Structure 1
Amino acid sequence: MRRLVIDVQPLEYAVARLDPDQAVPADLLTHPGQVLVSVTRTQREVSIICPAKFAPPGAKVEADWRLLSVRGPLAFTLTGIIAALASELAAAGVGLFTLSTFETDHVLVKSDDLTRAIDALQAAGHDVSM
């Protein structure tokens, strides 16, 4: 695997769930600044990844995540990025939640595992910056 540059984002993130018929709060995508917000609707749920302070009221929320973003853009032809990161973190006993966007890949790890995740990624040769 090639050396990746990974940026640790400063905020605490949450993964939230709404029922599939619930509306996504209109203001969720209007927050200024350098934050990631992702909304995915399936037949069974609406999943939202966002800074914890923006988690929708009434949603089932799993909070206390930290966001690590691979510095991109990454070509669509690249293979194995998430697999490599997942393998490196799994070897260190760090659970993760992944998300890919048009330009790059993101990994969320629990706040308590952040130091262990950074250490594992640096030991694998990646450049991790806070």
Structure 2
Amino acid sequence: MDPAELLRNGTVSVPAGTYAVCRTDGEHPGAFATVREVGETTVVVDQDEADAVATDAVEPGWKRLTFEPELPFELVWFLAAVATALAEVDASVFVVSSYATDHVFVKRDDRAAPVRRLEALGCEVAD
């Protein structure tokens, strides 16, 4: 399967919230995502909730771009295609993947260029 096909006419939703990525030693019940590793837990939370997370590092100001088509496990190069396209407009990304969906976070203040780049690839970006 060609990732370009999924990008063309694929929907990318952009929820209204702004997120913070936090490195912590615990969990946060309202987290959008939690990644546990040996010695570190990362939580992605609504930016307004970041103060409630016991952290040793916080990176605020991220907007979530969610790729709505269900992505099959055998799909290769999808995130590489997205990351490459966004790198072309100097967008830093933070990625969280779920079972069937990829969520790409871009800095809130730099959101316009990544959205235009995804639209140029054929994505329908829905706020």
TM bucket normalised to smaller: 0.7 to 0.9
Q: Distance in 2 between matches of 1:77 and 1:40?
A: 23
Structure 1 stretches of 4+ moved >2 Å: 54-58
Q: Which runs of 5+ in 1 are unaligned?
A: 30-36
Q: Distance in 2 between matches of 1:96 and 1:74?
A: 19
* SS of alignment partner, residue 28 of structure 1: coil
Is residue 100 from structure 1 mapped to residue 97 from structure 2 by the alignment? Answer: yes
Is residue 41 from structure 1 mapped to residue 43 from structure 2 by the alignment? Answer: no
Q: Give 1:44 deviation, angstroms.
A: 2.6
Q: What do you get for the CA RMSD once the two structures are aligned?
A: 1.4
Pick from 79, 85, 88: which aligns with 1:82? 79
Equivalent position of 2:22 in the other structure = 16
Residue identity (%): 29
How many residues get paired?
119
- TM superposition score normalised by structure 1: 0.84
Once the two structures are superposed, what CA deviation does each residue of 1:8-46 show, in whole Å capped at 9, x if it has no partner? 11100110011xxx3314x325xxxxxxx1111111310
Q: Give 1:92 deviation, angstroms.
A: 0.8
- TM superposition score normalised by structure 2: 0.86
Partners of 2:20 and 2:61 within 8 A in 1: yes
Q: Give 1:70 deviation, angstroms.
A: 0.2
Q: Which runs of 5+ in 2 are unaligned?
A: none
1:52 corresponds to which letter in structure 2? Q
